[in-house]
Chain A
Amino acid sequence: MQNNPRLARLILDQAQRDERDDDWSGREIEIADLLDQAVTTGQSRIDLRNRLVTGTRATNSMIYRDLAEAISESLTDQIRDLDSDIAKLENDLIPSRLVMGTIIGLMLGAFGAVVYGSADVLTAASITIAMVTAFFGVQAYRKRAFAIISTLKGRRTNYDAFRNLLRSEP
């Protein structure tokens, strides 16, 4: 929120720039970072939108709708990419659950094989240790995957909200 004046200034400067100037690579990173922070709270989103509205009115060389279209189309691209990342991660989580079940089955199987006499204790113990390690590893990465998914979903929601706000006429 406190960076909104600077972000609005950067966006408006970029919008008034000519397409053939291509010395904006440093600003691109700054705008992306600031925009990502600016859309996290509702108050900040409204504040940024109002700054862009007053900014475009002050420049006298472009209309707000063009600016809103340019930003919201870029947000749409970003939302589409986030959706595909979320879908990929969710797809990865499905086999990981099966792996957890199979690991438990293997531990039981190793124990049963010793009892039944078809495996010696040392082999069964080493397989069990490897599977306990694998079990906690899979669980840790599942937790991380869920954390990433919730972060990505939060970002997706923020971008979507800002896109809707930009499109609604002030």
Chain B
Amino acid sequence: MLDQLMKITPTEIALAIFAVAMLVQLAVFRAHVNSAEAKGKTVRFPGLMTSLARIPVRTDDKPKS
């Protein structure tokens, strides 16, 4: 049994390499989804406050729309 376990065949190496690659893919995918989730939680309207404050005062030409 132990002799069998200690003997690493090329097939086992190939399977292990693929398995590690798939786990890395999962970790990358997980990180992307988590960052997208965190970003989607906070709603911000960048520039809204500045553009609102920049609205020109127009009392002379057209007082009421």
Q: B44 touching A32 by the CB < 8 A rule?
A: yes
Question: Which residues of A are at the interface with B, using a C-beta cutoff of 8 A?
Answer: 11, 14-15, 17-19, 21, 24, 27-28, 31-33, 35-36, 56-57, 60-67, 70-71, 73-75, 77-78, 85, 88-89, 92, 95-96, 99, 102-103, 106, 109-110, 113, 118-120, 122-124, 127, 130-131, 134, 137-138, 141, 144-145, 148, 151-152, 155
A-side contacts of B10, CB under 8 Å: 118
How many A-B pairs fall under 8 Å by CB? 157
Q: A19 touching B53 by the CB < 8 A rule?
A: yes
Interface residues of B in 11-30 (CB under 8 A from A): 11-12, 15-16, 18-19, 22-23, 25-26, 29-30
The 23 listed contacts between A and B (C-beta, < 8 Å) are: A14-B52, A24-B49, A28-B44, A28-B45, A32-B43, A32-B44, A57-B64, A57-B65, A60-B59, A60-B63, A63-B65, A70-B54, A74-B48, A99-B29, A106-B22, A120-B12, A123-B15, A127-B15, A127-B19, A134-B19, A138-B26, A138-B29, A152-B40
A-side contacts of B52, CB under 8 Å: 11, 14-15, 17, 67, 70-71
By beta carbon, the residue of chain A nearest B4 is A120
B-side contacts of A110, CB under 8 Å: 15
CA distance A60 to B59 in the complex (A): 7
A-side contacts of B54, CB under 8 Å: 19, 70
In the complex, what's the smallest C-beta–C-beta distance from A89 to chain B, in angstroms? 5
B-side contacts of A99, CB under 8 Å: 22, 25-26, 29
